[in-house]
Amino acid sequence: MTIKTFQLEYDAINSRNTFTNGDTINGRIVLETDKEMKIQSLEFLAKGKASVCWTEYYGDNQSHVYWSDEKYYSIQQHILRESRQDGSEIIGKGKHLFPFSFKIPEERMPSSFYSTIGRVVHKLKAELKQSMKLKKKTKVHFKFVSRADMDVPRLMVPQHGCKDKRLAFGSGTVSFDVCIDKTGYKPGEAITVTTEINNQSSRLVKPKLILYERRSFFAQGRRKLETRQVLKAKADGVDPNSGKRTVAKVIPIPTELSPSIMNCSIIKLEYRLQVYLDIKFSSNPGIKAPIIILPEVLDMRHLPPSYSDFGFEAFGNPAPPTRGTTPQATEPPPSYETSAMYPAFPSVDYKTAM
């Protein structure tokens, strides 16, 4: 045995051990040998890539594999190159440290993400070549949080929607008006939902809320969809024929939620909050709103300016919004109904559809 240790180490720059666009990663390749050895080259590589892959089955014996990838950067640095006439370099016995420095590109690319179907990987890699046939590799992933994920206007603007419902058999009418305090949230923050209900019916009305996660994967003209219910909550009920009542509910966002991904053409990670009224013997009227989960590194005091041409219909659109003029303060919040681009979400963990 000649090589005892061959590994990569890098230095964290914050307590979360995350990196974003423009950050520099400093580290070292650790090579420890138990005797003198010859090497032809030692290379450092940094790569960012998204990939998806799944299999669909048709009948008993037919299947098709769908896959796609999207590359963001591939950087190569020659740490050691052949310098002797025989094309090799002599490395003495013991532990050797080879430093490297790599600046993450400023280009628009998604945050690190992992699932059984698709992933976004940012990694560092080292390759040691001793001869034409003898090579050794090592790699390590680092957690990248995209600054481009923050490039979404109106994150702080409240969301608003309303709906009326006439009940069957002359039971009266119910209307409700919902306001959500904003659109963008960090994991661990709380969503404040205020619902004004006008119950002019003979039935008890119970406001309920569900936060859904939706994962979409795209390859070769096909889409695979996974949905799951993140959390559900209910607010105080409103008695029959009680007129107008205001009900408020605060919903904490789980800290383990991944940031929304809206800047990748083959993977989309989106969230939606559904607010509906549970009414016995009636279909339940509901309102849906997009919720954007922000990276933890985002400072909410330094959000980008609003865009006049951005509405909820742009949520989930792979094309980035174009810059426009800043809307006036009197401009009303966007309606929920402009954002209803989702199919009905089932209440099961990761329901899969094609």
Rounded Cα gap, residues 264 and 245, in angstroms? 43
Residue 314 reports pLDDT greater than 70: no
- Does 312 reside within a domain? no
- Work out the pLDDT band at 2, boundaries 50, 70, 90: confident
**pLDDT number for residue 171:** 82
Q: Which residue has the higher pLDDT, 282 or 152?
A: 282
Q: Calculate mean pLDDT across residues 22-37.
A: 94
Instruction: Report the range out of 50-64, 112-126, 131-145 with the highest average pLDDT.
Output: 112-126
pLDDT digits (tens, 9 = 90+) for 168-215: 877 899 999 999 999 999 889 999 999 999 999 999 999 999 999 999
On whether both 207 and 342 belong to a single domain, the answer is yes
**pLDDT number for residue 353:** 64
**pLDDT number for residue 304:** 42
Q: Which residue has the tokens 């994962």?
A: 215
On whether both 205 and 343 belong to a single domain, the answer is yes
On whether both 69 and 213 belong to a single domain, the answer is no
On whether both 240 and 102 belong to a single domain, the answer is no
Structure-block tokens of residue 176: 């409700």
On whether both 138 and 34 belong to a single domain, the answer is yes
Q: Which residue has the tokens 């892959």?
A: 53
- Does 140 reside within a domain? yes
**pLDDT number for residue 352:** 60
Task: Decide: 262 and 310 in contact? Cβ < 8 Å.
Answer: no
**pLDDT number for residue 19:** 95
**pLDDT number for residue 1:** 56
Q: Which residue has the higher pLDDT, 210 or 280?
A: 210
Q: Calculate mean pLDDT across residues 335-344.
A: 35
Number of structural domains in the chain: 2
Q: Calculate mean pLDDT across residues 280-302.
A: 78
Query: Average model confidence (pLDDT) for the chain?
Result: 82
Rounded Cα gap, residues 340 and 273, in angstroms? 11
Residue 350 reports pLDDT greater than 90: no
Q: Which residue has the higher pLDDT, 26 or 306?
A: 26
On whether both 85 and 23 belong to a single domain, the answer is yes
- Does 313 reside within a domain? no
Residue 299 is which amino acid? D
Rounded Cα gap, residues 288 and 290, in angstroms? 7
What proportion of the chain, given as a percentage, has pLDDT over 90?
A: 61
Instruction: Report the range out of 15-29, 151-165, 284-298, 329-343 with the highest average pLDDT.
Output: 15-29
Helices then strands, each counted (H, E), the chain = 0, 22
On whether both 66 and 207 belong to a single domain, the answer is no
Rounded Cα gap, residues 305 and 321, in angstroms? 12
Rounded Cα gap, residues 118 and 113, in angstroms? 8
pLDDT digits (tens, 9 = 90+) for 241-263: 899 999 999 999 999 999 999 99
3-state class of 314 per DSSP?
helix
3-state class of 172 per DSSP?
strand
Q: Which residue has the higher pLDDT, 305 or 309?
A: 305
On whether both 342 and 207 belong to a single domain, the answer is yes
What one-character DSSP code corresponds to residue 186?
-
- Work out the pLDDT band at 348, boundaries 50, 70, 90: very low
Q: What is the pTM of this model?
A: 0.76
Host domain of residue 177: 154-298+332-353
Q: Calculate mean pLDDT across residues 3-15.
A: 94
* Cβ-Cβ contacts under 8 Å for 243 (sequence gap 6 or more): 198, 199, 200
- Work out the pLDDT band at 296, boundaries 50, 70, 90: confident
**pLDDT number for residue 140:** 97
Rounded Cα gap, residues 146 and 320, in angstroms? 14
**pLDDT number for residue 39:** 87
**pLDDT number for residue 196:** 95
**pLDDT number for residue 102:** 94
On whether both 100 and 191 belong to a single domain, the answer is no
> Domain of 181: which CATH number?
2.60.40.640
Supply the DSSP string of 16-31, one letter for each residue. T-EE-TT-EEEEEEEE
On whether both 164 and 25 belong to a single domain, the answer is no
On whether both 267 and 166 belong to a single domain, the answer is yes
Q: Which residue has the higher pLDDT, 311 or 57?
A: 57
On whether both 35 and 85 belong to a single domain, the answer is yes
- Where does a domain end: 146, 162, 184? 146
